[in-house]
């Protein structure tokens, strides 16, 4: 496995980051046993970096995976909290449920711009206190926006950026691949650690996945790439791709048709809760029910978490 320094954080992370959203209830909903097995296998393959979130509901999957792994993991989590009280509860929950004294990186989830960071400063302040105490090592932001990256550059305290980034710019809410690239170059020159998400645009780029990997692999300013995985073959494929190794035919075939999509159950009552949380404007209400525009959907699963009827799944 290839490793890189995550900016100035002092952390050395595997170039492939285990995106754990896929494991939990918002996506594949693997059994704890199966998820833990996959995490431990990833550790054997040299991965040492895993990304999760308060929203993903998969801390138990990760806890069991960490217990089984032979090597140490660097954990990144995030939450939407905007004040000290909320952030304290989220960090404590992460520590308790993953059974870890230290969560290496804790981030503000889905930052839109410098204004979001200022508006969440009470929560950031709390995380900075925790950094001094040693319960976290770095504070970061995740973002789907170029303005989210540029906003983070205004704060020395924000050391890690987790942006959406792929060659087509899918999911970037306020720009394209080129404008994100410029923002990330700036971020790198200021010493920010960068780990990208959605290299395959939530599965939309699976038919051009070689190109999608090549695009990110060559970007020196991207220290690591988080990819969602839910099977041994996907893990094998992603490890080989990120290291520029030949892909065995059987692995290439078995992973090629693993396209995912958003499924909305028939008992949807059209409440619009999902429409309101989708930053990609991929959902509309038609004839009293939610409907997804597959070309816009990046399978982030956030709508699923917001549905009071539990009728959205990524399958
Ligand atoms: S949140 Fe659930 S019930 Fe409400 S519109 Fe969306 S899918 Fe339907
Ligand atoms: S429809 Fe749901 S899964 Fe798709 S981009 Fe919107 S919030 Fe994410």
The least confident of 68-72, 74-78, 162-166, 258-262 is 258-262
Closest atom of ligand 2 to CA, residue 300 = 8
**Could you tell me if the CB of 276 is within 6 A of ligand 1?**
no
Which residue among 309, 310, 313, 314 has the greatest number of ligand 1 atoms within 8 angstroms of its CB, and so is best to mutate?
309
Mean pLDDT, all residues of the chain: 93
Contact 73, 48 (CB under 8 A): yes
What burial class does residue 33 get, using C-beta atoms within 10 Å of its C-beta: 0-12 exposed, 13-18 middle, 19+ buried? exposed
Q: Which residue CA neighbors atom 5 of ligand 1 most closely?
A: 270
**Could you tell me if the CB of 298 is within 6 A of ligand 2?**
yes
Nearest Cα residue to 235 out of 40, 32, 30: 40
Which residue among 263, 273, 276, 310 has the greatest number of ligand 1 atoms within 8 angstroms of its CB, and so is best to mutate?
273
The least confident of 5-19, 155-169, 229-243, 246-260 is 246-260
**Could you tell me if the CB of 292 is within 6 A of ligand 2?**
yes
Report strand pairing: 12-14 vs 3-5.
Answer: antiparallel
Closest atom of ligand 1 to CA, residue 285 = 5
Q: Can you give the pLDDT at residue 180?
A: 97
**Could you tell me if the CB of 297 is within 6 A of ligand 2?**
yes
Residue 280 CA to ligand 2 centre (angstroms): 7
**Could you tell me if the CB of 312 is within 6 A of ligand 1?**
yes
The least confident of 75-79, 127-131, 257-261 is 257-261
pLDDT digits over 168-209, tens only?
Answer: 888 898 999 999 999 999 999 999 999 999 998 877 788 788
**Could you tell me if the CB of 273 is within 6 A of ligand 1?**
yes
Taken in order of first residue, the domains within the chain and their CATH numbers are: 3-256 (3.20.20.100), 262-314 (3.30.70.20)
Residue 203 CA to ligand 1 centre (angstroms): 22
Long-range contacts of 171-176 (CB under 8 A, 24+ apart): 171/144, 171/198, 171/201, 171/202, 171/280, 171/298, 171/300, 172/144, 172/145, 172/146, 173/144, 173/145, 173/279, 173/280, 174/145, 174/146, 174/147, 175/145, 175/146
Cα gap 131→129, rounded to integer Å = 5
pLDDT at 258 over 80: no
pLDDT at 77 over 80: yes
**Could you tell me if the CB of 272 is within 6 A of ligand 1?**
yes
Cα gap 222→149, rounded to integer Å = 13
Of the pLDDT bands very low, low, confident and very high (cuts 50, 70, 90), residue 256 is confident
pLDDT digits over 43-52, tens only?
Answer: 999 999 999 9
CA dist list (Å): 260 to 38, 102, 202, 232, 256: 19, 34, 8, 17, 11
Nearest Cα residue to 277 out of 303, 301, 300: 303
**Could you tell me if the CB of 277 is within 6 A of ligand 1?**
no
**Could you tell me if the CB of 262 is within 6 A of ligand 1?**
no
What burial class does residue 142 get, using C-beta atoms within 10 Å of its C-beta: 0-12 exposed, 13-18 middle, 19+ buried? buried
Of the pLDDT bands very low, low, confident and very high (cuts 50, 70, 90), residue 271 is very high
pLDDT at 41 over 90: yes
Q: Can you give the pLDDT at residue 18?
A: 97
Query: Stretch 210-223: mean pLDDT, rounded?
Result: 91
């Amino acid at each position: 496995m290839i490793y890189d320094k995550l900016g100035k954080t002092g952390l050395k992370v595997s170039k492939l980051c285990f995106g754990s959203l896929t494991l939990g209830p918002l996506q594949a909903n693997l059994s704890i046993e199966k998820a833990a097995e996959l995490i431990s296998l990833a550790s054997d393959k040299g991965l040492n970096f895993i990304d999760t979130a308060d929203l993903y509901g998969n801390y138990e999957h990760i806890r069991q995976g960490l217990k089984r792994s032979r090597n140490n993991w660097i954990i990144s989590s995030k939450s939407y909290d905007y004040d000290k009280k909320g952030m304290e509860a989220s960090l404590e929950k992460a520590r308790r449920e993953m059974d870890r004294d230290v969560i290496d990186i804790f981030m503000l989830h889905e930052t839109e711009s410098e204004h979001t960071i200022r508006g969440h400063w009470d929560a950031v302040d709390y995380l900075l206190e925790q950094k001094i105490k040693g319960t976290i090592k770095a504070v970061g932001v995740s973002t789907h926006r170029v303005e989210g990256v540029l906003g983070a550059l205004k704060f020395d305290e924000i050391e890690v950026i987790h942006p959406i980034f792929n060659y087509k710019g899918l999911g970037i809410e306020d720009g394209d691949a080129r404008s994100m690239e410029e923002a990330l170059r700036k971020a790198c020159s200021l010493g920010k650690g960068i780990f990208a998400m959605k290299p395959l645009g939530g599965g939309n780029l699976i038919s051009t996945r070689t190109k999608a990997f090549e695009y990110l692999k060559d970007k020196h300013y991207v220290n690591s790439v988080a990819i969602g995985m839910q099977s041994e073959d996907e893990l094998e494929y992603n490890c080989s791709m990120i290291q520029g190794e030949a892909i065995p035919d059987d692995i290439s075939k078995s992973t090629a048709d693993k396209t995912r999509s958003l499924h909305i159950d028939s008992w949807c009552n059209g409440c619009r809760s999902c429409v309101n949380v989708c930053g990609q404007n991929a959902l509309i209400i038609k004839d009293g029910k939610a409907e997804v525009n597959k070309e816009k959907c990046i399978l982030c699963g956030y709508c699923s978490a917001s549905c009071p009827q539990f009728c959205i799944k990524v399958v």
